[in-house]
Chain A
Amino acid sequence: MWQGLRSELHPLGVEIVTIALDTRGVETAGPWIAKAAPQHPSLIDRTHLVDALYGVINVPSGIWIDEDGNIVRPPEPAHPQRPGYLDREIPADASPDRREAIALVRALHVESERYVAALRDWVRLGRASRYALGPEEVVRRSRPRPIEEATAAAHFALGQALDARGARDAATAHFRAAHRLQPDNWTYRRDAWSLAGTEHERVYGTSWVEEVKREGVENYYPALRLE
């Protein structure tokens, strides 16, 4: 998905680094990477290290870093193009639950054109771009980090380590703790749910629809504050 933009921007001094937040690593992310055949670094983050280090809570998230290694935009929704799910039709024979889920997906707030325009502006103008934030603003806009969220990162990492050992029940207990401690971290939720497959609503006692409605559909991808 990012390869097209990378081809355009790389000659101008930009590198795209994609990071797959997949607990099962290459097993699940590998086929997608192989299909995309990226020319840019394409990394695997099984413990969601970038959540702990940068405050990522959802995908796709983008972080801009300048030539000196300074962040000029902290994590924010980063859609390189309009996702197909925004235009998904609701089948006539869809169940009420299915209808609700599709309607919710279609209602997600996505601003791909504004995001890409801002990115091109920064690539062209660098520090002079109005979209490049100063260091204090970068810190201020990054996630507040109360003890609960800091602890959620430890539980998620334990869940990943135990899942890798095949200790699924023990892993689930730690994933549940991570979800309880940081309820709006979608990478923790959705990755753990994906491991439970079709059983995830039973195992975790909730669903994507239920959680999105609770958090507010407008908060799933918050509006970009570009300037």
Chain B
Amino acid sequence: MIFGTARVPAAEFARVTGWRSKPEGLCRDEMCVPFEPADADVVDLGAAAEALGMPLVHDAENALWALGARAGGHALETAVAPDFELPDADGQPFRLLSLRGQKVVLVAWASW
């Protein structure tokens, strides 16, 4: 999850990470973690990283910031499938959530 600034518009943060800044904290699906932003429209990456338990790596030379995965516990925190949006080969975005109501088999593969 890559950012070009350490202070990110809340809408962009939500789009990239899936974590939405709400009055009750940072929320994703049915999960919320406590978070008190100094500014409702801007997310400070350092503060969000600490709240979410995600490592933040800063590449100063290239002016990039990257949030890692949530640390501690397991990759899956609950059995609820984390939603995501990824493009197809034509660049059209596809959301996992759009398949709710069907069984789904996600298959990770690669060309390499």
Q: Provide the B68-99 mask, 1 if CB < 8 A to any CB of A, else 0.
A: 11111111111111101011110100101101
- The yes or no answer to A112 lying at the interface (CB within 8 A) is no
Min CB gap B97→A, angstroms = 7
Binds B, one of A88-96, A101-109, A137-145, A211-219: A137-145
Q: Which of A47, A60, A158 has a CB less than 8 Å from the CB of B57?
A: A158
| Interface positions of A from 119 to 139, Cβ below 8 Å from B | 119, 122-123, 126, 134-136, 138-139
CB within 8 Å of A: which residues of B? 1-2, 53-57, 59, 61-62, 64, 66-82, 84, 86-89, 91, 94, 96-97, 99-112
Among A26, A72, A145, A194: residue with most chain B CB under 10 A: A145
Are B103's CB and A190's CB within 8 A? no
CB within 8 Å of B: which residues of A? 1-2, 13-22, 26, 28-34, 41-45, 47, 49-56, 59-72, 74-75, 78, 119, 122-123, 126, 134-136, 138-140, 142-147, 149-155, 157-158, 160-162, 165, 167, 170, 174, 187, 190-191, 193-194
- CA–CA, A222 and B99, complex, Å: 29
Are A60's CB and B109's CB within 8 A? yes
Q: Please name all residues of chain A whose beta carbon is closer than 8 Å to the beta carbon of B94 when the two chains form the complex.
A: 17, 41, 43
Q: Please name all residues of chain B whose beta carbon is closer than 8 Å to the beta carbon of A66 when the two chains form the complex.
A: 103
Q: Please name all residues of chain A whose beta carbon is closer than 8 Å to the beta carbon of B74 when the two chains form the complex.
A: 55, 139-140, 142-145
- CA–CA, A188 and B88, complex, Å: 21
- CA–CA, A16 and B102, complex, Å: 10
> Can you list 13 pairs linking A and B with CB atoms under 8 Å apart?
A1-B109, A17-B106, A19-B107, A44-B86, A52-B68, A55-B76, A64-B103, A70-B81, A134-B79, A149-B69, A150-B70, A157-B68, A161-B66
Min CB gap B56→A, angstroms = 7
Q: Which of B1, B71, B104 has a CB less than 8 Å from the CB of A17?
A: B104
Are B79's CB and A190's CB within 8 A? no
- CA–CA, A44 and B88, complex, Å: 6
